[in-house]
Structure 1
């Protein structure tokens, strides 16, 4: 059994930037245990799998350790694969996730735009459990559906922040988003999810379903320019549209290959 695989750098204008994701187009769903093994073998922050279903594509996302509810950069990568290599017709793609519902991606030239549900947050106290996750205490803390959001005073604080991964992994959440107002852009961020097998994610589309609504309210503007300050860096354009968040970026092809699963298929 051979399975096609792509590796795409998402939210990137060149290879070796943005966030790498693996994409596997499937004819039908493979066992969950095999999907998890493929993601673990890929050892990227996310591997996306999709199956065509009439006029839409069912999509799922796996880290090396767990299946997750939503992944922005791997959805962007899957759309890039469909538009560029898998002969999808038209300028929009309808994905569906059992965990996150309807998700669309539209293409305009090289720009791809995700349309996702927002993840609103509620303010919570800055507890010792949160404060001790980093070498610098945040000014505010919030809780969303999957992640904590910590707000800091400056872009420099975000850039220089030192995480304590074992303390972050112990929290009852997917991970922690840290953010501050930007100097050149509207806001900057980083994202840490060691409990899900990702110490620091290079660029996190799903985190911007929390960040965009927060900063839109703070800055009084619906359209925002953002950067995620990982070592690879990534740039995103966000727009709040009522009950949805549009997140735009570009992607680049790094690899096309095949997985050889004959040994597994013979079991």
Structure 2
């Protein structure tokens, strides 16, 4: 009888302490990273916005992120979820830092009481001209538009309502070079600093939260 090689996968709801809330991510802690095809198939099976695969290296851990359809270079809430599992399992003590090596970036995690603190790389922004038909394609007239050095377009809206009500034309976004688009504005209430939505139709994703906006300046 053939034995089954069992592996454990965790589902972690980030940014909450309540069941069925927050932003869910899958996490697998492995002895070594499997093939890309295996990780992609597992992420498709989990069918969460992102699943992270983690394995030890000489300086900490390698980490890879997969949506159900494609690998992505970085995901904030899946990094937070992975660090949470590493601390919960006792692989690292709360006094120890966690060093992740992603596809393009090195990420450092520390524990501060019950909080997990993530230090991300910073990407630079350059102001660009508003693309033709932006209002028609996205749904609002931007205050300003920037492009990051990792090819994200960041559009600043005038109001939170612009962000909430926009209905982008995804085919048009791709055709006009806006296949990786972040839209954001100031929050309209005192307890909300800003609101943000991310659209990645080039990767067959129409609404994901990758925390990319939080690491550009």
Whether these two folds match at TM > 0.5 is yes
Aligned to 2:118: 114
Q: Contact 1:146–1:174 at 8 Å: present in 2 too?
A: no
Aligned to 1:189: 196
Mapped pair 1:176 → 2:181: yes
Q: CA deviation at 1:163?
A: 2.3
Q: CA deviation at 1:131?
A: 3.5
- Aligned with residue 208 of structure 1, among 192, 199, 214: 214
Q: CA deviation at 1:31?
A: 1.0
Q: CA deviation at 1:54?
A: 3.4
Q: Contact 1:64–1:197 at 8 Å: present in 2 too?
A: no
**Partner SS, residue 34 of structure 1:** helix
Mapped pair 1:15 → 2:16: no
Q: CA deviation at 1:55?
A: 4.3
Evaluate the alpha carbon distance shift between residue 206 and residue 127 of structure 1 in structure 2; reply closer, same or farther with a 3 A threshold.
Answer: closer
Alpha-carbon distance in 2 for matches of 1:44, 1:82 = 20
Q: Contact 1:140–1:150 at 8 Å: present in 2 too?
A: yes
Q: CA deviation at 1:39?
A: 1.3
Matches within 5 A, 1:4-153: 4-91=8-95, 92-100=97-105, 102-128=106-132, 130-144=134-148, 145-153=150-158
**Cα offsets for 1:24-48 (capped at 9, x unmatched):** 1111121111111111222212111
Aligned to 1:228: none
Q: Contact 1:132–1:167 at 8 Å: present in 2 too?
A: no
**Partner SS, residue 90 of structure 1:** coil
Compare 175-184 and 88-97 and name the one that shifted more.
88-97
Evaluate the alpha carbon distance shift between residue 174 and residue 167 of structure 1 in structure 2; reply closer, same or farther with a 3 A threshold.
Answer: closer
Q: CA deviation at 1:174?
A: 5.7
Alpha-carbon distance in 2 for matches of 1:3, 1:171 = 43
**Partner SS, residue 55 of structure 2:** strand
Q: TM-score, normalised by structure 2?
A: 0.87
Q: Contact 2:131–2:176 at 8 Å: present in 1 too?
A: no
Calculate the aligned-residue CA RMSD, in Å.
2.0
Alpha-carbon distance in 2 for matches of 1:190, 1:93 = 28
Unaligned runs of 5+ in 2: none
Q: CA deviation at 1:133?
A: 3.0
Q: CA deviation at 1:166?
A: 2.9
Unaligned runs of 5+ in 1: 214-267
Normalized per residue, which structure has more strand? 1
Evaluate the alpha carbon distance shift between residue 41 and residue 169 of structure 1 in structure 2; reply closer, same or farther with a 3 A threshold.
Answer: farther
Q: CA deviation at 1:175?
A: 1.9
Paired residues, what number? 209
Alpha-carbon distance in 1 for matches of 2:107, 2:48 = 22
Alpha-carbon distance in 1 for matches of 2:175, 2:21 = 29
Alpha-carbon distance in 2 for matches of 1:197, 1:23 = 22
